[in-house]
Amino acid sequence: MKIIILGTPKPKQSARFRAIKNPKTGKTFVSSYQKKEVKDNEKNIASDVEKQLPIGFIPFDCPIGAKILYVFPMLSSFTKKQKEIIENNGIIYKDTKPDLTDNLNKGLFDACEGILYKNDSRVCKVDSVKIYGVEPRIELEIYKL
């Protein structure tokens, strides 16, 4: 099953923490939270994925693999030659942030949990690539192992 999510891929940032004082007891405790933009990005991914699923789709509950292509917009600093390579379906790898394993994959897998698969722990094999391209997007292919 192949899903395409249009737009520039965004990393999932680490949870933020804050100290909150209980007004009744006066005790302080630590609470974690995600920024609104991180939550919104996951909601948008989830919505795009749901729209592309066949009617009656049941989330995978077995070992699965994923092939992921993250396509980022070309940089304004690219030379004419670099732009031509990309426009002619050549590949220029993105070797700068965000990193694949901690940020990009985490956000994508969390957003798809409960939609494509019961739990992201079912993902046992991942092949992911970051490149520059004409149309920013995420191409996700999920398959049973």
| CB distance 64 to 117 below 8 Å | yes
CA distance linking residue 93 with residue 133, whole number of Å: 10
What is the pTM assigned to this prediction? Answer: 0.84
What are the pLDDT digits (tens) for 3-61?
999 999 988 766 656 677 778 888 887 766 567 887 888 889 999 999 999 999 999 99
Mean pLDDT along residues 86-112: 89
Of the pLDDT bands very low, low, confident and very high (cuts 50, 70, 90), residue 123 is: very high
Q: Is the pLDDT of residue 135 over 60?
A: yes
CA pseudo-torsion sign 49, 50, 51, 56: positive
Q: Which of 117, 138, 120, 121 is nearest to 129 (CA)?
A: 138
Of the pLDDT bands very low, low, confident and very high (cuts 50, 70, 90), residue 81 is: very high
Residue labelled with tokens 């049973």:
144
pLDDT at 142: 95
